[in-house]
Structure 1
Amino acid sequence: MGEGTQPNEYKLATPPDDGISSVKFAPQSSQFLLVSSWDCGVRLYDVTANHMRIKYQHSRPVLDCCFQDPVHGFSGGLDAVLKMYDFNTNTEVVLGKHDGAIRTVEFSSDVNVVVTGSWDSTVKLWDPRSRCLAGSFSQPDKVYTMGLCGDKVVVGTAGRRVLVWDLRNMGYVQQRRESSLKYQTRCIRCFPNKQGYVLSSIEGRVAVEYLDPSPEIQKKKYAFKCHRIKEDGVEKIYPVNAISFHSQHNTFATGGSDGFVNIWDGFNKKRLCQFHRYPTSISSLCFSADGSLLAIASSYMEDKEELPEQPDDTVYIRRVSDQETKPK
């Protein structure tokens, strides 16, 4: 089937004008999607109606966004400012700032805090009710990615370091780890069952890791190669930019700069399926809360040679079946 003719997926109307940095579904809803972009905008879409509801701006490119609940969102980026936006009243509040770009923004419903990770080598916690900083915590290097695991946050920094923090007691680091992958960490996401996390690198690999430090559990960890394409006998290796978990099945999707999306069963160590090739790099992925939809950002990332003709930045909404996402 040609590009754009998949019966089970469609493109969002009025997509961002520049690189898409993040797509996030609202909690408990498969209707609303928040999208942040290098065009300095954050957009709220009603994916059911395929309509952009709201757009607001930062002064510089936005690197991440997330929902607190269906009517509040957070966003941060190169302007180092954390914004909270109320979609009902169309008003924004600046919760505070970092000293460097905010690379990742997550909301923990378990602890009711916003967590931001920055290139200033800190993680900050924010209280959305009192709208103030609840604490700032030094990390060993620039923060590239974070995954929430119940009341824990798994932080991936430059230098291939991974730190596990307890959001209820940030007095010390619970675990310090080194990535089991040899190259720079690109994305970390945690299993819905809270037993571990998946980490991807810029070098076509994914690691499945477990939080329990006991030796018998640690024996189960492993890594595998993916997002590699043989062309004319030469293997091309692509960054794995995005990971998203299916909340019911504990399976996960990966998206790479090869333009492919794969679905994996991490516990049984196998690939369940691969979708058709998208026009360019997959920059972000997000399953809806019920697992019925997958938002796929196809957006050129400057990690390979300049393309003379860059494909448009597009968000695809794909209806996924149990056949594609359920362990066999």
Structure 2
Amino acid sequence: MSRAACYELLPPPNDGITAVAFAPSSTELLVSSWDQNVHLYDIGRQDGQGSLKKSFAHNGPVLDVCYGPSDDVAFSVGLDMQVNRIDLISGDITVLSKHSAGARRVVYCPGHSMLVSAAWDSTLHFHDLENPSSAPLVVSLPGKPHALAASPTKLVVALTTKAVLVYDLASASAALTSGATSLKCWQERESSLKYLPRAVSCMPNDAGFAISSIEGRVAVEWFENTTEKQYAFKCHRQPAPDEDVVVAYPVNALVFHPEYRTFATGGGDGHVALWDAEAKRRMKQYQKFPENVSALAFSPDGKYLAIGSCPGFQTGQEDYSGQGSSRVFVRELGDSEAKPKGAK
């Protein structure tokens, strides 16, 4: 991978990277970390690298971060159990709600001005951002959520029990407005993957989603129950040195390109790959990154791919630490790099 195509953001976080998120309309990138901070970078290149603008301290490790309706507002969740609103200009952090266990994921749904958090207390919190002082709608889940993603009309929740729940966002918005105390699941299905889910991402055309597991597999599914379309495949597997076996690495990150029918995966093997969801083929695999790939994000215009790299738990370290070895990279994509074959 040439320096012209990929560069590093400095200084990096001081511990493991949990999420990366691009601003809606600027060259800024948020990075959440086990170092109990959300870091704000400007990816505009200076001497071959981006720059750290500021950091926002939290009360515990930050497990996820996302932007809100503008470049000035973000939301975070983590082991402090709080759902936080971050004013990226003033630095003020406001607590919107609090779970009773660590909060794992948070996603902003722009079409409904709604924020959703998922926590290990087996609940979702739906927040009406037009009425931020109102109480969230708390939805109980039949298991602990591990991955969360939203399409224009749906919310997908992957549980540790292998169940995948799909919620209709219009129904959730109506429930919030009416003050309802419950929300019916639009669709419940069992994941075709055998092991713990790691990441989920929705197709930008609102047709379906992809989900990954700790066992080096990805499944691509459509919201409509056309079973002939669903499929799964193996990936992020490497031959073990000096052994006649293949090691399956967790697929920690998965994200769809905002324009094309393609998605990127990042794995414990340190690789990032691009896939064509409809052609069912790998388009590209990039040069190995220094460590486990823990987080990925495409910029809204699809021109950049952010990569978080840090040590992974699968290495079996007794004293895990990402300090000194966590790094954030940004890849500039070529004009047709993420475009599927035959696309106009």
TM class by shorter chain equals over 0.9
Q: How does 1:127-206 map to 2 (within 5 A)?
A: 127-131=128-132, 132-170=134-172, 171-206=183-218
Query: Match of 2:42, as an amino acid?
Result: D
How far does residue 168 in structure 1 lie from its aligned partner after superposition?
2.2
> 1:111 corresponds to which residue?
112
In the alignment, the residues of structure 2 paired with residue 237 and residue 102 of structure 1 have an alpha-carbon distance, to the nearest angstrom, of: 28
TM-score by length of 1: 0.94
In the alignment, the residues of structure 2 paired with residue 57 and residue 301 of structure 1 have an alpha-carbon distance, to the nearest angstrom, of: 23
- Residue 218, structure 1, aligned to residue 223, structure 2: no
The secondary structure found in structure 2 opposite 1:303 is helix
Structure 2: segments with no counterpart, 5+ residues: 173-182
In the alignment, the residues of structure 2 paired with residue 100 and residue 172 of structure 1 have an alpha-carbon distance, to the nearest angstrom, of: 23
Stretch moving more, 235-244 or 84-93: 84-93
Q: Do the aligned residues in 2 keep the contact of 1:287 with 1:293 (CA within 8 Å)?
A: yes
How far does residue 98 in structure 1 lie from its aligned partner after superposition?
0.6
Aligned match for 1:249, one of 260, 263, 271? 260
- Residue 54, structure 1, aligned to residue 47, structure 2: no
In the alignment, the residues of structure 1 paired with residue 294 and residue 107 of structure 2 have an alpha-carbon distance, to the nearest angstrom, of: 17
The secondary structure found in structure 1 opposite 2:336 is helix
- Residue 23, structure 1, aligned to residue 20, structure 2: yes
Q: Do the aligned residues in 2 keep the contact of 1:27 with 1:70 (CA within 8 Å)?
A: yes
Matched-pair identity in %:
41
The secondary structure found in structure 2 opposite 1:168 is helix
- Residue 209, structure 1, aligned to residue 211, structure 2: no
In the alignment, the residues of structure 2 paired with residue 141 and residue 114 of structure 1 have an alpha-carbon distance, to the nearest angstrom, of: 20
How far does residue 47 in structure 1 lie from its aligned partner after superposition?
0.8
Change (3 A) 1:182 1:176: same
Change (3 A) 1:59 1:324: same
Q: Do the aligned residues in 2 keep the contact of 1:124 with 1:133 (CA within 8 Å)?
A: no
Deviations 1:66-103 (A, max 9, x none): 00021100001000011111112222211110111110
Structure 1: segments with no counterpart, 5+ residues: none
Q: Do the aligned residues in 1 keep the contact of 2:291 with 2:311 (CA within 8 Å)?
A: yes
Q: Do the aligned residues in 1 keep the contact of 2:97 with 2:136 (CA within 8 Å)?
A: no
Deviations 1:135-184 (A, max 9, x none): 01011111101110112100001111100011221431111111101111
The secondary structure found in structure 1 opposite 2:337 is helix
Query: Match of 1:127, as an amino acid?
Result: D
Q: What value does the CA root-mean-square deviation take over the aligned residues? A: 1.6
The secondary structure found in structure 1 opposite 2:112 is coil
Query: Match of 1:6, as an amino acid?
Result: R
Stretch moving more, 303-312 or 264-273: 303-312
- Residue 312, structure 1, aligned to residue 314, structure 2: no
Query: Match of 2:192, as an amino acid?
Result: S
How far does residue 249 in structure 1 lie from its aligned partner after superposition?
1.1
> 2:39 corresponds to which residue?
43
Aligned match for 1:273, one of 260, 284, 293? 284
In the alignment, the residues of structure 1 paired with residue 118 and residue 203 of structure 2 have an alpha-carbon distance, to the nearest angstrom, of: 20
Query: Match of 2:18, as an amino acid?
Result: S
How far does residue 322 in structure 1 lie from its aligned partner after superposition?
3.5
Deviations 1:95-147 (A, max 9, x none): 11011111001000011111000000001111233223330101111110111
In the alignment, the residues of structure 1 paired with residue 261 and residue 206 of structure 2 have an alpha-carbon distance, to the nearest angstrom, of: 10
In the alignment, the residues of structure 1 paired with residue 217 and residue 310 of structure 2 have an alpha-carbon distance, to the nearest angstrom, of: 20
Q: How many residues align?
A: 321
Deviations 1:272-316 (A, max 9, x none): 100000111100000101111000001112122229997610000
Query: Match of 1:320, as an amino acid?
Result: L
In the alignment, the residues of structure 2 paired with residue 249 and residue 324 of structure 1 have an alpha-carbon distance, to the nearest angstrom, of: 11
> 1:227 corresponds to which residue?
236
